[in-house]
Amino acid sequence: MSTRRRTRTILQLLAALLALAATATGTAQASEPTLLHFNHTYGVVDRETADAIEHSTYLKDFANFQVRTTTGAGGEKWTGRYLMGRETYLELFGTGDIPGTDLGSAGMGLSVEHTGQLSTVVQHLRDAGITTPLEFLQTRDFGDGKPIPWFNGVFTTDAYDTFGAWGMEYRPEYFADPRGNTGPEQYPGDISRNRYLPDDYRSHQMRDVSGVRLGITARDLANTLPLLRAGGLTVRDLPTGAIATDGQTTIRFETAPASEVGLRQLDLTLNRPTGTRHVERLGHSTLTVGPGPHARWTFAPRT
């Protein structure tokens, strides 16, 4: 056998062994290129926790923080507390702040970075057996009664219990409106999260959301995973739920009865490491910042 052939055979055997090892250890590989990226998550918390977050002096220094009421399609309004990073953000509601939700309700938006990619995600859903994905247009009204296109979206179904995840593609009309306070295009078809979010995060500690852990019903999990796979996230099934990642943010889903669902933990990256540890109690939640370049926000179990 020639040296070249022997080398090729050895490399092929190594590749086969690595593939077997990945299978044996449960390593999940994304079947498609990553099209969808974690954009934001929202959660409905108890009123005491929501009020503590809203009036926290610490959070105003820690993050690009704001409280605002948004008007969407059909005049629907919701009031949220927002912590915005470089590419990702958080949206926290108290009970009664968003129509049709109860304590423990949560959701997640995942967005594409290039114009036209959402149609590929929709096709992947159809190829996976989701024959009628629920496509929609979300608009935003800046207060003048003239809504503008905000983003195109897609759900796998409208039959959710308490958690819904959707794919989204920002519309060029939104970026063209100066009231959106978005950045300039960095490449043709740029509709990225970085362009969408303002740069005010630079003057605060919080940079981005690196992890989300939440309780979710088995039905909601089954309706969510096809979207994540269609978007090219790496998904690993677990006996107690699933873990998914887009390479930047890791989402851990833990199956639970409807009475125990909701946000459980958020992991955040910081713009710079801190040498000290700060603990901030916000209602029935605890934000621990540092030491190092990370923070963790935990939410007490529902009672």
Instruction: Say whether pLDDT at 228 is over 80.
Output: yes
Q: Which residue has the tokens 């055979």?
A: 9
279, HSE (Cβ side, Cα atoms, 13 Å): 4
Q: How far is residue 83 from each of residues 41, 55, 197, 204, measured CA to CA in Å?
A: 11, 13, 11, 11
Q: Which helix (H) or strand (E) holds 61?
A: helix 57-62
pLDDT of 32: 60
pLDDT surpassing 50 at residue 10: no
Predicted local confidence at residue 19, as pLDDT: 37
CB 93 within 8 A of CB 102: no
C-beta atoms surrounding 33 within 10 Å: 9
Q: Which of 197, 201, 210, 194 is nearest to 64 (CA)?
A: 201
Which of 91-105, 202-216, 236-250 shows the lowest mean pLDDT across its residues?
91-105
Helix/strand/coil percent split, the chain, to 5: 25, 40, 35
Comparing CA positions, the residue from 131, 128, 129, 135 lying closest to residue 154 is 135
DSSP E strand boundaries for the chain? 37-45, 64-71, 77-84, 89-94, 106-111, 134-140, 148-155, 163-170, 206-216, 234-238, 241-245, 250-255, 262-274, 278-282, 285-289, 292-299
Residue 121: strand, helix, or coil? helix
Higher-pLDDT residue of 247, 78: 247
Alpha-carbon gap, residue 52 to 295, rounded angstroms: 18
Q: Provide the residue ranges of all domains of the chain, joining segments of one domain with +.
A: 37-299
Give the model's pLDDT for residue 87: 98
pLDDT at 197 over 50: yes
Q: Sign of the CA dihedral 174, 176, 179, 180?
A: positive
Question: φ and ψ at 231, to 5 degrees?
Answer: -85, 0
> Is the pLDDT at 17 greater than 60, yes or no?
no
**pLDDT band per the 50, 70, 90 thresholds, residue 303:** low
DSSP 67: E
pLDDT at 189 (0 to 100): 97
pLDDT band at 245 (very low <50, low <70, confident <90, very high): very high
Both tokens of 300, joined, read 């007490």
Averaged pLDDT for residues 167-193: 96
Helix/strand number for the chain, H first, E second: 7, 16
pTM listed for this prediction:
0.89
Closest among 259, 263, 260 to 211, alpha carbons compared: 263
Q: Does 257 score more than 50 pLDDT?
A: yes
Confirm if 112 and 192 have CB atoms less than 8 A apart: no
pLDDT tens track for 144-165: 888 999 999 999 999 999 999 9
Name the DSSP class of 180.
G
CB 183 within 8 A of CB 199: yes
| Cα gap 245→109, rounded to integer Å | 14
